[in-house]
Amino acid sequence: MTSEQETEEPVESGYSPERMIFFSDAVFAIAMTLLAIEIERPEEKDLVSSAALAEFLWHHISSLIAFVLGFFLLWGVQRRHHVLMDRARRLTHRMSGWNAAVLVLAAFLPFPTAMIGHGFGNSLAVGIFAVTYAALLGCEAMLKHTAVREGVVSNPAAVRLGVVVSVVLAAFFLLTALAVQFAGAVPALGYAAPYGWIAIPLVIDLTHRVWRRRHPDAP
């Protein structure tokens, strides 16, 4: 037995990162599939001509936009989850609890996604979606924070950056939810908020830049 094997931390039965990844991936896959189920399907009358089909697609464009939005937001959570689990040597009970919270909210996300798909300009629907995703990001941040605090990840500095990114994104979504709810005099904001979420990559990039400026020694 090598010295590396001798110092390897024991993994409690049922708490290996691999098992958590497999189960989490299954939940994410189901949630992403449920997003597609909510897309409106054309009926026979909508297929009688190209004009009728084009009219149907335009009338239900919001459900297609909601599907794409929900899919890529869930995909982003899944990818960040993979990165964290690849750095985790083992899991802890607290990590398992926060992971369960992440999965509950991921599985619930198709419901508010369907609401904005059928009511794209509805400020309450947009707010519920934004708050749900913000809560999901908050649980994601706590999962990463717990992993760092309990000392079970390699490269904890990178994971701390991940915590900051999750918190900043959660704040971004909460701000859009508040803006929509308190801007009743400007109904167009109900439509603008989902399009504003396209700026997420810019928010992430800016967060990385600020973090590296404040922590020049960070990897």
User: Cβ(118)–Cβ(59) under 8 Å?
Assistant: no
Q: Decide: helix, strand or coil at residue 153.
A: strand
In a domain, 178, yes or no: yes
Any domain includes 195: yes
Residue-number span of the structural domain to which 97 is assigned: 13-214
Give the global pTM: 0.84
Which parts of 41-92 fold into alpha helices (H)? 50-59, 61-87
6 in a domain, yes or no?
no
**In total, how many domains does the chain have?**
1
pLDDT digits (tens, 9 = 90+) for 114-138: 998 887 778 888 889 999 999 999 9
Q: Is residue 142 part of a domain?
A: yes
The answer to whether residue 55 sits within a structural domain is yes
Q: For residue 9, what are its two tokens?
A: 């931390």
**pLDDT tens digits, residue range 65-75?**
889 989 999 99
pLDDT for the residue numbered 10: 60
Q: Which of 75-84, 91-100, 186-195 has the lowest mean pLDDT?
A: 186-195
Amino acid residing at 79: R
Q: Classify residue 7: in a domain, yes or no.
A: no
Q: Which of 128, 119, 132, 112 is nearest to 187 (CA)?
A: 119
Residue 35, C-beta contacts closer than 8 angstroms, at least 6 positions apart: 66, 67, 70, 71, 74, 109, 110, 113
- Report yes or no on 4 lying in a domain: no
Residue 163 lies in a domain: yes
